[in-house]
Amino acid sequence: MNLLSRLKARLVAWNKDARPPSLTALDLFRYIGPGLLVTVGFIDPGNWAANVSSGAVYGSVLLWVITLSTIMLIVLQHNAAHLGIVTGLCLSEAATHYLPRRSGRLLIGSAVLAAISTEVAEILGAAIALNMLFHIPIKLAAVIVTLFIGFFLYSNSYKRIEAIIIGFVSIIGISFIYELTLIEVNWGTTVRHWLTPTIPDGSIVLVMSLLGAVVMPHNLFLHSEIIQSRQWNLEDEKVINRQLKYEFLDTLFSMGIGWAINSAMIIVAAYTFYTVGIEVAELSQASALLEPILGKGAALVFAFALLCAGIASSITGGIAGGSIFAGLFGEPYDIKDKHSQLGVGLVLLASLGVILLIEDTLQGLVLSQVVLSMQLPFTIYLQVRLTSSTAVMGSHANPAGTRWLLAFFGVIITGLNVYLLVDLARSMIA
């Protein structure tokens, strides 16, 4: 299938009832959605664990890390979406088309493993929430979550999934607004901590955990794919420029919501656990400890919001896995296509298999982060290479300043993940 045929197939798969964009003030709202699906990965159970631990141990001091990481995330995710808009290809398809066959397949194969690794943590997070709410054994809960996610992905269109994910994000946001109303927050101190970098003694691992968990390989692949749900005419330069503008606003708005929710997690932990000297090591422990401090309602809301986050991130993780796998065959994500179906099934079943085989859920989370740390540098390298190439992007290739900024962020995030990998290895050996 040549490039033109793939672009036509994508337009049919994503937007059969496409029409040219209007010039009304509602244009921005038509573009809101893809960024929120990416935001779900920014507030997944792994982020919850890091945020709650940070707030419990250091109060609100590390809020600045959320601000910095969000800025970096906006730049990298916007650049991934940029590729999708200009070329009509996601990262996986572009790698298949523009890289040598062997290296392209190896890189995409590693991205599939990263998607599986991410899904392990996300399904586990939802399973832990079910255990907290209904006392269902975690492995049985993981089976229930996996079956639900599989049924959901195979039986729903993208537009319906997008609407439901927006609903999940709204529930999570409202949940933490409720939690914030139960505590007294010193907003002057909080604002200062959002803007002033401070690294307390012994906090460097948590700082790197907060930063290093922000950019995940599957989210970069995902954004380059789902942004094309807003596509009309790839041959019209005016439409491309218009899409690039509104995509950035969508990314800015969506990552801003992620920043607010992650910040709220730290603030809630800071003004509940930190103020009374309670350290929290696990999410289930956090819910249990909230009850005597803020009441049973706060504990239930926390657990329910975690369930929403786990399910929502598992859904987007499944889409990402299906997209990456379909890209091996030069195809866009389409749940009605056998390659997308196979990719989604592979990610879900492999993730569940890992969860069922491990005895220690914490060990499963650790191993999932190891795989992500190892794969991330390759995805960032691929993205920067493709988006900086005039052969791929034409006149929309990254200018020198953007190229260096992306490379700088890539080095920082990759370095942090490598450090975390080494630290995890040391802790496992010890």
pLDDT tens digits, one per residue of 64-115: 999 998 998 999 999 999 999 899 899 999 999 999 999 999 999 999 999 9
pLDDT above 70 covers a percentage of the chain that reads 89
Q: How confident is the model at residue 238 (pLDDT cuts 50, 70, 90)?
A: confident
One-letter identity of residue 323? S
pLDDT tens digits, one per residue of 49-59: 888 989 999 99
What pLDDT does residue 361 have? 73
What pLDDT does residue 16 have? 43
Cβ contact 249:28 at 8 Å: yes
Rounded Cα distance, 311 and 123, in Å? 7
What pLDDT does residue 36 have? 87
Residue where the block lists tokens 């859904």? 315
Q: How confident is the model at residue 3 (pLDDT cuts 50, 70, 90)?
A: very low
Return contacts of 354-362, CB within 8 angstroms, 24+ apart. Answer: 354/116, 354/120, 355/120, 355/123, 355/124, 355/127, 355/139, 355/142, 356/139, 356/142, 356/143, 361/124, 361/128, 361/138, 362/282
How is residue 263 written in tokens?
A: 């910040």
pLDDT above 90 covers a percentage of the chain that reads 56
In this predicted structure, the answer to whether residue 219 has a pLDDT above a threshold of 60 is: yes
Q: How confident is the model at residue 294 (pLDDT cuts 50, 70, 90)?
A: confident
76-105 in b/e burial notation, b at 16+ Cβ within 10 A? bbbbbbbbbbbbbbbbbbbbbbbbeeeebe
Cβ contact 133:300 at 8 Å: yes
Spatial neighbors of 240 by CB under 8 A, at least 6 apart, are 85, 86, 234, 396
Rounded Cα distance, 342 and 337, in Å? 9
What pLDDT does residue 11 have? 46
The full set of domains in the chain, from first to last, is 3-11+26-429 (1.10.4160.10)
Cβ contact 39:266 at 8 Å: no
Spatial neighbors of 411 by CB under 8 A, at least 6 apart, are none
Residue where the block lists tokens 């987007």? 316
The whole-chain average pLDDT of the chain stands at 86
Does this model's pTM top 0.85? My answer is yes
